[in-house]
């Protein structure tokens, strides 16, 4: 099966590192089918690339799920191992036993060069994954001990993703350019389609890690060998996809989308400027065809529309601001539905601060380099938008991304300044220039709700908005805030379900009117303050309440504060190591897809 890649679908990757040990403990055992996908790198005029020198195979070894079973039951290698023995003339079983096979589910055994060289002269590495012999669903065992609560279904599925990430990452770090999966990692059959999607997504995302590229190098790719360090998932050793090829392809798209968002977030701020980000959108749209339109608006356009928040934040930087607007029409037959203009089903908005120094209210120097990822909301919104286009979802989507830098300068906005927002309709006192994200989002939300003949049926904004959400939820979940319209129509519940379904969970946060009152300006100089109550308590809730002032209550609106999951230190399963995570791309894409399967709520 071929999976069609479009330009700018994959991103720069490849960092090499030496493994510190041969055995890696992963949480849980797992399951998957194996199909093939080629990662392709784009070059304007691609030079002849060197052939990759290593290939990796991932096979399974069934072991007991507890100590008693592990003593009584011998380990059983999958049928794929017999295939490898015939092909390479090696006694794989003896080799695994002599190297201390995986002793428990979720454990990996890495054998660099264990299969020698293949007919093409590639060094062949072997990774053996321990799965539980007695568990349901292809070897996934619940890790239950006395007094412990059993795993939630989504947690068990996340174990499956975790072990695949571990295996692919181990081979990637050895330098494997091609990786093949044993279909014994997961069962086949339509009832196990989720397992296929889980493994495809985890493998695809884990195969990519950001590597510094020349400033002018494009992002994506139809040249398979332009980057010899980026792993390729090719073919399967044993078994077939059964009825799960569609689910597998969907998982690949999710993995690519997360990798794309992660790569954008990881790029240094001197490379990923507002103008550069917009250029990626223009090139991606050109590759996707006439169903996608992109417009990049400059500072004069922004000033004409009195977007005072975006102009104020950008004042301290030499990089000019940009406002990116993209539209995707997945339902061309309804362009003139009812005789009037088409209404966007969903408008995605992403905070695009490509570097956040804090401005005059400057941040501490420690970890300031991480603020290259403060455009994570823009990266996730853009990647989710592209994934929806690539999936061909029958939706009408809009994308709005305000882009700028937040820097200190003689011209920068100062604490205590009063600015106009939302076309001059609201005044705001800037009490802290490091609370800049809500200022540019206010303009974007107002534009999204009022620029068309009719408002979108749903607005979703994403932003690395507050450190308070990381204090509240850590790095495990993003915070989800929804207005009453979004709750009553069921949009909030569906997005929460999609987060759990894809192992990218969000947590419901409060948005009642008491938080809205907290952001009223008490100086008498303006309508709102950008930091809320003086004691700064409930910072994530007051930030969301600030944004709610710019969305009419009749329009369903959801806000995702993703600051806690911006990088992968807190867990959550990105394939990028302790770097930017690309979350919650999987949750957003799955939510958009669910709208096409379950339909929009009545009246929406």
CA distances from 176 to 43, 52, 127, 569 (A): 21, 8, 12, 25
Which residues does 90 contact at the CB level (< 8 Å), separation at least 6?
84, 114, 115, 116
Alpha helices in 207-340 (DSSP H): 245-266, 274-288, 299-304, 308-314
Helix (H, G, I), strand (E, B) or coil at 505: coil
Q: How is residue 503 written in tokens?
A: 């192992």
Q: What DSSP element (H or E) covers 439?
A: helix 437-450
Q: Is 363 a catalytic residue?
A: yes
Q: Is 54 a catalytic residue?
A: no
Query: Backbone phi, then psi, for 344, in 5-degree steps?
Result: -65, 135
Strand order from edge to edge, sheet including 426-430: 417-421, 426-430, 528-529
Q: From CA 197, how far away is CA 204, in angstroms rounded?
A: 10
Q: Which one, of 359, 436, 332, 343, lies nearest residue 398 by Cα?
A: 343
Catalytic residue among 172, 438, 457, 477: 438
Q: What DSSP element (H or E) covers 205?
A: helix 193-206
Which residues does 347 contact at the CB level (< 8 Å), separation at least 6?
397, 398, 399, 400, 448, 456, 458, 459, 460
Q: What DSSP element (H or E) covers 482?
A: strand 478-482
Neighbours of 428 (CB within 10 A): 27
Helix (H, G, I), strand (E, B) or coil at 151: coil
Q: From CA 417, how far away is CA 549, in angstroms rounded?
A: 20
Cα-based angle 12, 13, 17 (whole degrees, multiple of 5): 155
> Do residues 226 and 43 touch, judged by C-beta distance below 8 A?
yes
Residue 35, burial from CB neighbour count under 10 angstroms (0-12, 13-18, 19+): buried
Catalytic residue among 363, 414, 484, 494: 363
CA distances from 219 to 65, 213, 249, 288, 579 (A): 43, 9, 21, 15, 19
Positions marked catalytic: 363, 438
């Amino acid at each position: 099966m071929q999976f069609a890649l479009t330009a700018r679908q994959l991103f720069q990757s490849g960092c090499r590192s030496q493994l510190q040990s041969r055995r890696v403990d992963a949480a849980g055992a797992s399951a998957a089918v194996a199909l093939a996908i080629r990662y392709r790198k784009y070059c304007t005029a691609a030079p002849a690339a060197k052939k990759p020198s290593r290939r990796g195979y991932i096979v399974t070894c069934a072991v007991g799920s507890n100590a008693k079973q592990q003593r009584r039951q011998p380990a059983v290698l999958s049928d794929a191992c017999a295939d490898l023995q015939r092909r390479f003339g090696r006694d794989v079983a003896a080799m695994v036993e002599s190297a201390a096979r995986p002793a428990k589910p979720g454990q990996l055994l890495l054998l660099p060069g264990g299969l020698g060289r293949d007919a093409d002269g590639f060094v062949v590495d072997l990774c053996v994954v321990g799965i539980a012999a007695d568990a349901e669903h292809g070897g996934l065992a619940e890790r239950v001990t006395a007094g412990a609560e059993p795993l939630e279904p989504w947690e068990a599925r996340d174990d499956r993703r975790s072990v695949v990430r571990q295996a692919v990452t181990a081979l990637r770090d050895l330098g494997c350019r091609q990786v093949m999966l044993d279909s014994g990692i997961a069962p086949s059959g339509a009832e196990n389609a989720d397992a296929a999607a889980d493994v495809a997504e985890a493998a695809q995302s884990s195969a990519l890690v950001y590597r510094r590229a020349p400033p002018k190098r494009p992002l994506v790719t139809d040249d398979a060998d332009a980057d010899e360090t980026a792993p390729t998932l090719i073919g399967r050793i044993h078994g077939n996809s059964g009825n799960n090829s569609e689910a597998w392809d969907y998982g690949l798209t999710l993995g690519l989308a997360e990798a794309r968002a992660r790569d954008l977030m990881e790029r240094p701020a001197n490379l990923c400027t507002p103008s550069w980000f917009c250029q990626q959108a223009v090139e991606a749209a050109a590759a996707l065809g006439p169903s996608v339109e992109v417009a990049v608006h400059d500072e004069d356009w922004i000033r004409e529309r009195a977007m005072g928040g975006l102009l104020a934040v950008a004042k301290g930087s030499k990089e000019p601001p940009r406002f990116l607007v993209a539209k995707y029409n997945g339902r061309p037959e309804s362009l003139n539905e009812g005789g009037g203009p088409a209404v966007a089903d969903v408008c995605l908005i992403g905070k695009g601060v490509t570097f956040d120094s804090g401005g005059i209210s400057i941040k501490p120097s420690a970890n300031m380099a991480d603020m290259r990822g403060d455009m994570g909301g823009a990266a996730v919104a853009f990647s989710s938008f592209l994934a929806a286009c690539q999936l061909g979802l029958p939706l009408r989507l809009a994308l709005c991304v305000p882009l700028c830098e937040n820097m200190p300068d003689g011209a920068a906005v100062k604490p205590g300044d009063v600015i106009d927002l939302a076309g001059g309709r609201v005044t705001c006192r800037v009490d802290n220039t490091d609370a800049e994200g809500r200022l540019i989002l206010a303009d974007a939300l107002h534009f999204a709700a009022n620029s068309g003949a009719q408002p979108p049926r749903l607005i979703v904004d994403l932003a690395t908005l507050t450190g308070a959400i990381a204090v509240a939820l850590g790095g495990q979940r993003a915070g989800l805030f929804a207005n009453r319209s979004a709750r009553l129509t069921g949009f909030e519940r569906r997005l929460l379900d999609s987060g759990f379904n894809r192992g990218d969970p969000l947590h419901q946060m409060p948005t009642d009117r008491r938080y809205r009152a907290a952001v009223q300006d008490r100086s008498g100089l303006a309508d709102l303050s950008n930091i809320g109550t003086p004691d700064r308590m409930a910072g994530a809730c007051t930030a969301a309440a600030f944004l709610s002032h710019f969305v009419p209550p009749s329009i369903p609106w959801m806000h995702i504060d993703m600051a806690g999951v911006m990088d992968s230190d807190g867990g959550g399963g990105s394939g990028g190591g302790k770097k930017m995570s690309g979350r919650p791309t999987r949750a957003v894409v799955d939510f958009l897809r669910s709208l096409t399967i379950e339909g929009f709520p009545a009246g929406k």
